[in-house]
């Protein structure tokens, strides 16, 4: 009989069919093997998240396209036409569409995974399974929307280039490197979500503040502006934000705008891994005592 590192131990002294469930004795036991053992549940949750999000809606999955396009239209009017912010020579529509495409994935994933314990309280207190399955399923479910939006962005990029707009997209290079940026986005958003879920489980007020914090995070990220226009002496402050490097490189591949430097990319990757490690520890600690807190 197989056991998982989450603390399920087979007790064969009385019956070979008896399984005793015990809490793990270490915070560093992340039970990653449990993700594979409960893969059927994982795929079920991915499907549930996708279906429930657009169930009983008129337009259904078309919201994958409508939301970023509406956001792009608003940003183009306000920040390009009215405020006159530079887009590094790229068409404003493409500049803001590229920024919102990757940002929407990060913000939506953090928003949902940050409320993992509060949203799934009725399940966690009744059924045993590795709790990490839920936030990982959310992160993977949101990739479906991201994929549709990427195809839309690619289509707009090709259209604007055919029309003779003076910008230099790196489409071939982008198709090779964008998956790496997406992978870092998945890890970063999951890491932040795990960290926040441990806090919202104890302090429920944060669930109401989280959307506001995500809004502030967006304005602190180069979604509506280019980091290359920040004075060089202060640019390092922008890149303390790990998502800044992802967004700048994402724009660079599709629009030919200035990318983040190697040092800035390396700093972003190291911060992402650090946040993931801390997030896993806090999430593991919280899941052990969650039933006593709610």
pTM recorded for the entire structure = 0.81
Q: Which residues pair with 9 in a beta bridge?
A: 20
Q: What is the pLDDT along the chain (294 residues), one digit of tens a residue?
A: 434 444 444 444 445 556 555 555 555 566 667 677 777 877 888 887 777 776 655 566 677 778 888 888 888 898 888 877 878 778 888 889 988 999 999 999 999 888 887 777 777 777 777 788 888 888 988 898 898 888 888 888 888 888 777 777 776 777 778 899 999 999 999 999 999 988 888 777 778 888 899 999 999 898 888 888 888 888 888 889 999 999 999 988 888 888 888 898 999 999 999 999 999 888 888 877 665 555
Radius of gyration of the chain (CA): 21
Q: What residue spans define the domains of the chain?
A: 37-293
Alpha-carbon separation of residue 171 from 69, 156, 218, 257 (angstroms):
21, 12, 25, 13
Residue 276's nearest CA partner among 75, 107, 135 is: 135
What is the C-alpha end-to-end distance of the chain, expressed in Å? 33
- Decide if 24 contacts 5 (C-beta within 8 A): yes
Strands (DSSP E) contained in the chain are: 8-10, 19-21
Instruction: Say how far residue 36 (Cα) sits from the centre of its chain.
Output: 21
């Amino acid at each position: 009989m197989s056991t998982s590192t989450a603390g399920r131990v087979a007790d064969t002294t009385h019956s070979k069919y008896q399984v005793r469930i015990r809490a793990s004795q270490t915070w560093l036991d992340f039970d990653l093997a449990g993700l594979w053992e409960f893969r059927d549940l994982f795929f079920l949750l991915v499907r549930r998240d996708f279906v429930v999000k657009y169930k009983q809606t008129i337009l259904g999955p078309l919201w994958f396209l409508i939301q970023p396009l509406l956001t792009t239209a608003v940003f183009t009017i306000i920040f390009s036409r009215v405020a006159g912010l530079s887009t590094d020579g790229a068409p404003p529509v493409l500049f803001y569409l590229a920024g919102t495409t990757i940002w929407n994935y990060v913000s939506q994933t953090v928003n949902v995974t940050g409320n993992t314990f509060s949203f799934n309280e009725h399940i966690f207190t009744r059924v045993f399974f590795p709790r990490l399955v839920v936030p990982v399923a959310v992160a993977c479910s949101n990739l479906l929307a991201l994929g549709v939006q990427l195809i839309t962005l690619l289509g707009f990029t090709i259209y604007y280039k055919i029309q003779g707009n003076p910008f230099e997209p790196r489409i071939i290079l982008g198709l090779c490197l964008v998956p790496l940026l997406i992978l870092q986005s998945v890890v970063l958003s999951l890491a932040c979500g795990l960290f926040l879920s441990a806090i919202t489980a104890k302090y429920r007020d944060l669930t109401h503040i989280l959307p506001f914090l995500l809004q502030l995070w967006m304005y602190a990220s180069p979604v509506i502006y280019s980091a290359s226009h920040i004075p060089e002496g202060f640019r390092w402050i922008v890149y303390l934000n790990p998502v800044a490097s992802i967004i700048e490189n994402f724009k660079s591949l599709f629009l030919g705008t200035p990318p983040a430097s190697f040092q800035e990319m390396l700093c972003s990757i190291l911060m992402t891994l650090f946040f993931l490690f801390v997030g896993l520890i806090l999430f593991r600690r919280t899941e052990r005592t969650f039933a006593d807190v709610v």
